[in-house]
Structure 1
Amino acid sequence: MIKTIRRIPVAHYSNLKARTGYSIRLDDKEIALFKVSNGRVYALENRSPHPKGGVLSEGLVSGEYVYCPVYDWKISLVDGKVQEPDNGQVRTYKIEIEKDVVFIVL
C-alpha cells in the first residue's frame, strides 16, 4: 500500500507569536502549534500524556519545551518526550514553512 502524504496549510508564519501555543483541528486530530524564540515552529498532539490530560497549547513555553498547564510536566517540542522524573510522550508532526505559510505534513 502506498501512503499518501498530505501537506496542509495551517497558519501564516508572520501571525504566530513566539512562546505562544495555538490549537488547530485537522480531521479528528487536535494539534498544538508553537513558535519558539529562535523562530522555529513545532507541532504536537494537543494533549498531555498524563492520564488525566491537559491542553498543551495553553502551557508555558520555555526554550524548546512546553509545560503542561495542569500537571507541570516538561515536554520537548522537538521529540514530544516528557522529561524526567515524569515519563511519557506525545506525537509530534513535521512542519514545513514556505514563504509565509506554515504546513503540517501528515
Structure 2
Amino acid sequence: MTSFVDIASLDDIPRQGARVVRTSAGCIAVFRTMDDRVFALEDRCPHKGGPLSEGIVHGDRVTCPLHNWAFDMNSGQAQGADKGHVRTYPIRVENGRVLISAELIARRAA
C-alpha cells in the first residue's frame, strides 16, 4: 500500500499550470487541470530535456515548451508521431490538499 505526504494546497497550483517538487527521485512536475485533477510527472522531456513544468496544460495533456511534444499525463506517453515516455508518480487530492507518494519524499540520496 502506498502512503502519501501532504505537499501543498490545491490552490497553490494554478489551474492549467504546475509547480515543481524536489524529491529523492529528482524534480517532479505537479500539474493541475482546469477541472482540478492533479498529475505528477518527471519534469524532464525525453526529447531535449525541456522542463515540462513550464509547458502548456490542455485537458489531461502537457506540451513541452521547447519542441511541442505532447504527453498524456495519465500514462506519461508522448502523443501523435512523437516517441517517448516520462515517468508518472502516485498523487491525489484529499480535502483540498495535494498528496504525493511518501516514497518520493522519504528516500534521500547519500
TM-score w.r.t. structure 1 length?
0.88
Aligned residue number for residue 9 of structure 2: 12
Q: 1:100 aligns with which of 93, 96, 103?
A: 96
Q: Output the CA distance in 1 between the equivalents of 2:7 and 2:44.
A: 18
Aligned residue number for residue 79 of structure 1: 75
Q: Output the CA distance in 1 between the equivalents of 2:5 and 2:37.
A: 18
> What does 1:13-52 correspond to in 2, within 5 Å?
13-50=10-47, 52=48
Q: Output the CA distance in 1 between the equivalents of 2:36 and 2:67.
A: 27
Q: Secondary structure at the match of 2:11?
A: helix
- 1:11 Cα offset (Å): 1.2
Give the aligned residue type for 1:22: R
Number of residue equivalences: 102
Q: 1:69 aligns with which of 65, 70, 75?
A: 65
Q: Output the CA distance in 2 between the equivalents of 1:80 and 1:58.
A: 16
Instruction: Name the structure where helix makes up a greater proportion of residues.
Output: 2
- 1:30 Cα offset (Å): 0.4
- 1:28 Cα offset (Å): 4.1
Identity of aligned residues (%): 37
Q: Secondary structure at the match of 2:53?
A: helix
RMSD: 1.5
Q: Output the CA distance in 2 between the equivalents of 1:97 and 1:63.
A: 18
User: 1:40-69 CA distances to partner (integer Å, 9 max, x unpaired)?
Assistant: 01110000011x210000001111110000
Where does structure 1 differ by over 6 angstroms across 4 or more consecutive aligned residues? none
TM-score w.r.t. structure 2 length?
0.85
